[in-house]
Amino acid sequence: MAHDPLDGVAVFLAVADALGFTAAARRLGVTPTAVSKAIRAFEARHGVALFQRTTRRVALTEAGTALAERLRPASAEIADALAALGGFRDRPMGTLRITASASAASTVLAHLLPLFRRAAPDVMLDVTSDDALLDLVGRGFDAGIRLGDAVEKDMVAVRLTPEIGWSIAGSPDYFARAGRPRTPEELVGHEALRYRFGPAGAVHRWGFRRGRRAFVVDVGGHVVVDDRRLLVELACAGLGLAFVSDPESRAAVAAGRLERTLQAHIPRDAGLYLCFPRHAQRSPKLRAFIASARELLAAPAYVALFGDIPARR
């Protein structure tokens, strides 16, 4: 292992400032003997005498004076840098990296991030919207927003939504033109707007349940998108039927632009959770994000979207 070039610097500067081993030892909280040994080792390592010693006084050599003049500003910068670490300990700052699915980003994060920005204006937010289950720790994320059944057991999880319902949604114009499917199997004869999980991901297969039996209907269609909002808008425009969550379709349904069907055949999912490693809670920026998430649960616009949120998992 290479030798630490800063080893002995603090002792050297203490003696250079005090011009005495005893005074430097008091400042450092060690014995004069320890200071003397450290200085001898420092001089031996660099092959230069830095102090002139007599029985009455200690003085810097020319080399020692030159070294002290160059090290003092650097030492002050190092002290300032270490003091700045306290900012990371005491207040939210730095970069907060969050990963969320596309649907979570367009529903939960759209409401949560404005609250957090007001609470922690010094934090840089870096949000990755990805339907893949990214490795939080391995990829350097501070937290993720995921469906409850996708949260690892060793993660802390804070519930952000109740269980979420799903439906097949289409515009009134589409249903007037193509009819309303009464069973999932009848979807084979309809135009489906399909969703791809990311630019290179798999296309979502429409899953249903009848009693205890789960099954998939392979729907057909001429449009595939990887944007959840676009999916809803295309359904509103009458281009076909979309498999969407209740929060995604709520505004369009309330406005009469979409109608839902086949809800009873689609299982509700576990809802969305904010998840993070247990040790990460020591970070002020993540603590501020968690506090903003808890504040969000009582926000009127959020309650209108999701309803009352059950107690945490």
pLDDT digits (tens), the chain, 313 positions: 445 667 788 899 989 888 889 888 988 888 989 999 999 999 998 899 999 888 778 889 999 999 988 888 887 777 766 666 665 556 788 899 999 887 788 788 888 999 999 989 989 989 988 777 777 877 888 999 988 877 888 888 889 988 889 999 999 999 999 999 999 999 999 999 999 986 677 899 999 999 999 999 999 999 999 888 999 999 999 999 999 999 889 999 999 999 999 999 999 988 889 998 887 777 889 999 999 998 988 888 888 778 777 654 4
| 97 and 109 Cβ atoms separated by less than 8 Å | no
Rounded distance, CA 113 to CA 256, Å? 29
Please report which residue ranges of the chain form alpha helices under DSSP H.
9-18, 21-28, 32-46, 62-90, 102-104, 110-119, 172-178, 228-236, 246-254, 284-296, 300-306
The partner residues of 215 in beta bridges, in order of sequence, read 208
Rounded distance, CA 148 to CA 161, Å? 10
The dotted CATH code for 166-265 is 3.40.190.10
Q: Residues of CATH 3.40.190.10 domain(s) within the chain? A: 94-156+271-306, 166-265
Helical packing angle, 21-28 and 9-18, nearest 10°: 130
Rounded distance, CA 91 to CA 120, Å? 9
The position carrying tokens 């010094």 is 122
How far is Cα of residue 224 from the mean position of the Cα atoms in its chain?
29
- Predicted TM-score (pTM) of the model is 0.64
Q: Residues of CATH 1.10.10.10 domain(s) within the chain? A: 9-90
| 233 and 195 Cβ atoms separated by less than 8 Å | no
Rounded distance, CA 308 to CA 90, Å? 33
Amino acid at 136: L
Rounded distance, CA 119 to CA 22, Å? 50
Domain at 9-90: CATH architecture: Orthogonal Bundle (1.10)
Amino acid at 53: R
Rounded distance, CA 187 to CA 193, Å? 11
Q: What are 55's two structure tokens?
A: 């029985």
**Segment holding 226, helix H or strand E:** none
Amino acid at 186: E
| 61 and 50 Cβ atoms separated by less than 8 Å | yes
Domain at 94-156+271-306: CATH architecture: 3-Layer(aba) Sandwich (3.40)
**Segment holding 128, helix H or strand E:** strand 123-129
